[in-house]
Structure 1
Amino acid sequence: MLWFFFCIAVLLLGYFIYGKIVEKIFVINPNKHTPAYTMADGVDYVPMSKTKIWLIQLLNIAGTGPIFGPILGALYGPVAMLWIVLGCIFAGAVHDYMCGMLSVRNGGASMPYLTGKYLGTPIKTFINILAVVLLVLVGVVFVASPAQLMSTITMDIFGNGGGISVDNAEAVGTAASNTAATALGMTKETILLAWTAIIFIYYIVATLLPIDKIIGRIYPVFGALLLFMSIGMMYGLVSNHLGTGSVSFFGSIDGLSVDKFFSNLQPKGDLPIWPLLLLTITCGALSGFHATQTPLMARCAMNESEGRFIFYGAMIAEGIIALIWCAVGMSFYPDLTTLQDAIAAGSPSKVVYDSSIYFLGAIGGVFAVLGVVVLPITSGDTAFRAARLIIAEFFNLEQRTLLKRLWIAIPLFVIGFIVSKVDFQILWRYFSWANQTVAMVMLWTAAGYLYRYRKFHWICTLPAIIMSAACYTFLAYNQIGFGLDYQLSVYIGIGLAILTTIAFFLFVKRERIAGDPDALVVDSKVDFGNRS
């Protein structure tokens, strides 16, 4: 457990130390009026307290990714936690902070607008399409996973006559009797369909209503469930380790050696750690989905000085959630093969359900699972909302009128319903690639802003180069892409990343600071007026 707590400590230090460095490089302007006031519309631009925004931001960005991804990443052993920590501090949190603050600086603009402004129109057109595709995939994926968990809870409750009994972790979620459920005319398929419909209906309502009417009011309740889940699972890990000594990361974590640390780098021949780890663990370390969500909260922030707490801080919190579930994945089962079998039998949702019940008992386990359920639900609703706003921004359609919102929302949900019929495993692969590709573009966008205004751009450029190589390699190697030889794919990925870097420095032009009202120089005493 020492490695686990060490990783959490490093994440917290990252917020206070590196987060402050990033803030200084960006240079905030506390005197500038934010879009929450200058563009207030009562629907999407609504001033809210930084605490509430932080909670909504965390729930928006933390979907299934920081849970399912780390569980899958646990197949690589303790090194997965290393990626969560380093990725979160130096890539993910920087990505979220820069996206949020650039959105604040540009009237709450969405990521495609920012990309067009700092990288050029052709990239804006590409990212407009890719962002909407990603958001639809996210919405669909984040319907399926909570619906599966809720249907499992429902079947167990009715199957056992109103209660859940646990004899051992293997039996939970798979051996419950369905007698009572059958008597009520419920089958697993009908319950799953019912929960899918309920979640879709909630998404429609949350997408159309003003952000403070549903999202701003019920998210504190969801936040309480999230807090219970996080603290509860951490308590379960620690108490089980101290009480029985049975918690071990495929062996004794206390005696972690270099050999053991890197022992599972390639658990399967078709799952090499590069680049699969970087695309398997996404939301807990770095996620392009966050770039589609962060502008929603940038439209509600009341002061630029709140940016580090809201954007960088929420990502660090998500990294802690990812560490918890990565530790669960590595410690709940006795060995790698058992974890692989559990995932194959019921996807990561089986690991979530079984471990929650085992660590926290029947009642506590159900509340922990509900804490997991709210994450994809609170990301799915804002995914469709963000897709609506991106499309509206692209076609310059006002969104104050409900009818205008319906013109975009209805086709989106129809497409989402059609896509939901695709196999979940295939959807997840496409989601992973699209997600990290959007993250790559957002990092290049932030690097373009910093380079253009002569700030220290390498805090974004270096992670952008690394993610470029990872995304290109994945596309060349994986079967959803070109299915090429692995070694050739690595060379292609690195080569394309180098070409992308060269193109960046060739086409992004530096501006004369004094001649651009959008620029803030490093000297914080200089103020260019209302627009920074």
Structure 2
Amino acid sequence: MLTFMASIFILIFGYIIYGKVVERIFGADDHRTTPAYSKHDGFDYSPMSWWKGSLVQLLNIAGLGPIFGAILGALYGPVAFIWIVIGTIFAGAVHDYFAGMISLRHNGAQYPTIVGKYLGKYAQSAINIVSIALMVLVAAAFTAGPAELIAQITPLTFTTAIVIVFLYLLIAAVLPINKVIGKIYPIFGGILLFMAVAVGFGMLFIFENPIPNLTFENMHPGELPLWPLLMVTISCGAISGFHSTQSPILARTLKKESEGRKVFYGAMVAEGVITLIWAAAGMTFFGSTGGLQEAIAAGGAAGVVNEISQTTLGTLGGILAILGVIILPITTGDTALRSSRMMLGDLLTQTTKLDFAGKKAKLLLIVPVALPAFLLSQIDYSFLWRYVGWTNQVVATVMLWTAAIYLLKQAKFHWICSVPATVMTGVTATYIFYAPEGFGLDYSLSMILGTILWVVVMVWFVWQVYQEKRQGYPSVAQSKVS
């Protein structure tokens, strides 16, 4: 109990204190005109109130990630609390803030464009492929998951359910942001928060078992290693590269730069709180990590959510659980398609020098990303999700290095980005060698190879620091326009 309550307070104070530190280092300036006004088109660029933007951002970045990921991460025991708290404050929220604010400073540019500006054209070319692939995988996975549940609780077939879900994704992805996303999604964001708060009260007053206190012991029943699996299992709710593709969507709606801390840093902290609650619920409700593993094996993560919700809120909880498992992934899938359409538009504009900003172009651009997403959605959901995990954290790592170089070029305190980037480089470098969806190598060998790859990246960054110092930070003079 003490560990859980302390974790909640640390997350809140992290937003209040460290969020302000990050904002000051970045240099938010309300005298600047934001893209919502300078490039207003009533479609993607449109002013939105900060509170509405925060709820939309929360729903965009969250979906089922902070629920399902938290439940799977709870198998490791209370040590997961440490990763959620530290990851959220010092990595995830920093990542989201810089993804959104650097985009804002570059007229709402998409993630690959930002990477290209600070890491070079080769990095941009690679990350264009990786990030668009991630968006397609997310859209496919978040179509298949809800469709499976719809087919189970209605007379509709799985194929019919997929078609219905995907048609909605297409419509939401091409409509102006204020037509559907800006009006309806804040309500869904409120449902996500309500479910988390209700479960939190349930742990305090209804659940029979006490919330476990902190232990550094790895309690995973399958004896899976903490490093690096925990950091990939709990991504949404600690740090997730998917967020760097979503933050530019909201960067095009901010009325002033000071709202960035509330919309980007704040939404990530809120997601951290939600993740913490569901992780604690998973550890508590079933009495042990072994009991949780049996529940997951019997009904999957969705079954665990349903059982906990019904116990906490009765019939209402069951309804909310079903709505959550259906609606939340759908609202992430459509913004995944939306951001992939934006990325493809930026890529084609840069390579062909043609204008892809018109409404007709936006409608055409959705086709090449929607078609593969629809075809992939008919593959097993769990198979798709395995490949989302590592790709997701690679994208997050690259975004942190991009932000570190951004700060380095302006002679600002780059450590707030380069330190978490260093940690995430170690995570992704080791995971790809060890994980079954990677090379599936022995753990010790994976650690060695991962360390070698990590050293290569560290040498590259040290060289970047040396180059900037030797040249006397030439970018500082251009900081007003960057």
Shift of 1:494: 1.9
Does 2:393 correspond to 1:436?
A: yes
Shift of 1:2: 2.5
Equivalent-residue separation in structure 2 for 1:57 and 1:517 (angstroms): 33
Question: 1:170 matched to which residue of 2?
Answer: none
Question: 2:287 matched to which residue of 1?
Answer: 334
Shift of 1:515: 6.1
Question: 1:118 matched to which residue of 2?
Answer: 118
Tell me if the contact between 1:93 and 1:311 (Cα under 8 Å) persists in the aligned partners.
yes
Amino acid aligned to 1:275: P
Does the C-alpha gap of structure 1 residues 421 and 144 become closer, same or farther in structure 2, counting only changes over 3 Å? closer
Q: CA RMSD in A?
A: 1.9
Question: 1:207 matched to which residue of 2?
Answer: 173
Question: 1:224 matched to which residue of 2?
Answer: 190
Equivalent-residue separation in structure 2 for 1:200 and 1:76 (angstroms): 35
Question: 1:68 matched to which residue of 2?
Answer: 68
Aligned residue runs from structure 1 range 13-412, under 5 A = 13-152=13-152, 154=153, 186=155, 190-241=156-207, 246-249=208-211, 253=212, 256=213, 261-269=215-223, 271-396=224-349, 398-412=355-369
Shift of 1:516: 5.0
Shift of 1:191: 4.4
Equivalent-residue separation in structure 2 for 1:61 and 1:518 (angstroms): 32
Shift of 1:496: 1.2
Q: Give the TM-score normalised by the residue count of structure 2.
A: 0.94
Stretch moving more, 101-110 or 424-433? 424-433
Stretch moving more, 228-237 or 31-40? 228-237
Amino-acid identity (%)? 48
Question: 1:452 matched to which residue of 2?
Answer: 409
Deviations 1:170-189 (A, max 9, x none): xxxxxxxxxxxxxxxx3xxx
Shift of 1:25: 1.0
Amino acid aligned to 1:32: R
Tell me if the contact between 2:7 and 2:85 (Cα under 8 Å) persists in the aligned partners.
yes
Equivalent-residue separation in structure 2 for 1:304 and 1:518 (angstroms): 19
Which structure is higher in helix share?
2
Deviations 1:124-144 (A, max 9, x none): 111100000110111111122
Deviations 1:264-321 (A, max 9, x none): 344324x211100000000110000000000000011111111111100000000011
Stretch moving more, 229-238 or 479-488? 229-238
Deviations 1:365-390 (A, max 9, x none): 31244245432222111000000000
Question: 2:5 matched to which residue of 1?
Answer: 5
Deviations 1:174-207 (A, max 9, x none): xxxxxxxxxxxx3xxx444443322211100011
Equivalent-residue separation in structure 1 for 2:159 and 2:200 (angstroms): 32
Give unmatched runs, 5+ long, in structure 2: none
Q: Give the TM-score normalised by the residue count of structure 1.
A: 0.85
Stretch moving more, 361-370 or 408-417? 361-370
Equivalent-residue separation in structure 2 for 1:268 and 1:82 (angstroms): 20
Does the C-alpha gap of structure 1 residues 81 and 194 become closer, same or farther in structure 2, counting only changes over 3 Å? farther
Give unmatched runs, 5+ long, in structure 1: 156-185, 520-527
Equivalent-residue separation in structure 1 for 2:290 and 2:266 (angstroms): 36
Question: 1:492 matched to which residue of 2?
Answer: 449
Tell me if the contact between 2:434 and 2:446 (Cα under 8 Å) persists in the aligned partners.
yes
Equivalent-residue separation in structure 1 for 2:295 and 2:338 (angstroms): 34
Tell me if the contact between 1:62 and 1:318 (Cα under 8 Å) persists in the aligned partners.
yes
Equivalent-residue separation in structure 2 for 1:470 and 1:513 (angstroms): 30
- The DSSP-based 3-state class of the residue aligned with 1:17 is helix
Equivalent-residue separation in structure 2 for 1:223 and 1:478 (angstroms): 33
Amino acid aligned to 1:349: A
Query: Larger C-alpha radius of gyration, 1 or 2?
Result: 1
